[in-house]
Homo-oligomer: A and B are copies of this chain.
Amino acid sequence: MNDLVFVSLNRRKVDEVCAILAMYSIRVSVANVKRKEVQSDSLEEIALEGARYAASLILRPVIIEDAGLFIKSLNGFPGPYSSYVFKTIGNKGILRLLEGVEDRSAVFKSVVAYCKPGHEPLCFLGEAEGWISNSERGESWGFDPIFIPKEGEGMTYAEMGYLRKNMISHRKKALEKFAHWYLNQVK
């Protein structure tokens, strides 16, 4: 059952995904393939195309994971381009765009796409609703220091630490859906 390959260049994401899949006894190999991502306002489309491409290259069943932070008052920005936005304007840029803005609600979305070579890819969506904090809190990567999930008792993802984050996160929810489907397939 460990012929599944997780494709990612992001070491932090690899750690999270492997830890979550381990809860379902799913083991994966990791491949550092440079993905060819499509530009799209839809995370699903990006992940599906990415999985299809990776499977055709690696010739083994693959999963990839794409995540995006969608801030309501910014019309969904940074959304599917979260990683580029993080690299350029960072958390400080997001906080600046929200200075004095009352509605700080946001959704963190994760899409896990699975593809077997020669087959159509499938995807699984996980969402965590929450808010953007007023300042960066906690040490972590990406937008974790500024995202407060509804189920987080007021803490940011970064303040919660991995163990607690991995119980409730958008990534956990997407991987949980995938795991249920996958374990049913390979039974």
Interface flags, A77-101, vs B, CB<8A=1, else 0: 1111100110111000100110100
User: Which among B37, B84, B93 is the interface contact of A97 at CB below 8 angstroms?
Assistant: B93
The number of times this chain is found in the oligomer is 2
Q: Verify if A177 is at the interface (C-beta below 8 Å from B).
A: no
Residues 106-148 of chain A, each 1 if its beta carbon lies under 8 Å from chain B, else 0:
0000000000000000000000000000000000000000000
* Beta-carbon nearest neighbor of A77 in chain B: B88
Smallest beta-carbon distance A46→chain B, Å: 7
Chain A interface residue bracket vs B: 20 to 34
A99 to B96, CA, bound (A): 9
Within 8 A of B (CB), among A25-52: 36-41, 46
Closest to A50 in B: B39
List, in ascending order, chain B residues with CB within 8 A of A46's CB. 39
Contacts of A39 in B (CB 8 A): 37-39, 46, 81, 84
A75 within 8 A of B: yes
Contacts A36-B38, A39-B39, A96-B97 known; 5 new A-B pairs at CB < 8 A: A37-B38, A39-B84, A74-B93, A76-B88, A97-B97
8 residue pairs of the A-B complex, CB under 8 angstroms, read: A36-B38, A37-B40, A76-B88, A79-B88, A80-B84, A81-B84, A81-B85, A96-B96
Q: Mark A residues whose CB is within 8 Å of B.
A: 36-41, 46, 74-81, 84-85, 87-89, 93, 96-97, 99
